[in-house]
Amino acid sequence: MGESQRKSNFKCLRCGGNMEFVSAEKLQLGQYGLLLGSLINLVSGSLEVEVYCCDACRKLEFYAVDSESAAAGSGIAQAPCPHCSQLHEIDDARCPHCGVRLMD
């Protein structure tokens, strides 16, 4: 269960080699804020990421775990869209489902 759903067909941005899954890690955002950019504004504490390594040039890539699966434990508040009623993160400026503007 779960393993077969790993993203296994990433291509290396640098050389086009296959990105192989290495491990899932919890990052402390204080240490990795620069790497992850604006993500630090959406979650507090730690962020779960999946680590992939290029099998050709050994470049490491970090991918944040989808908010869909991480939301339950990450503390991101969700709210239903007033237009389409689908849940979206409360910080979203636009609904990711229907695109309606949520903030002025």
CB-based contact 86:80 (threshold 8 Å): yes
Q: Which of 42, 33, 44 is nearest to 78 (CA)?
A: 42
Q: By the criterion CB under 5 A, which residues form the site for Zn ion?
A: 12, 14-15, 17, 54, 56-57, 59, 81, 83-84, 95, 97-98, 100
Q: Closest distance between Zn ion and the C-beta of residue 100, in Å?
A: 5
CB nearer Zn ion, residue 28 or residue 86: 86
CB nearer Zn ion, residue 48 or residue 92: 92
Q: Closest distance between Zn ion and the C-beta of residue 40, in Å?
A: 25
Q: Closest distance between Zn ion and the C-beta of residue 99, in Å?
A: 7
CB nearer Zn ion, residue 6 or residue 94: 94
CB nearer Zn ion, residue 47 or residue 54: 54
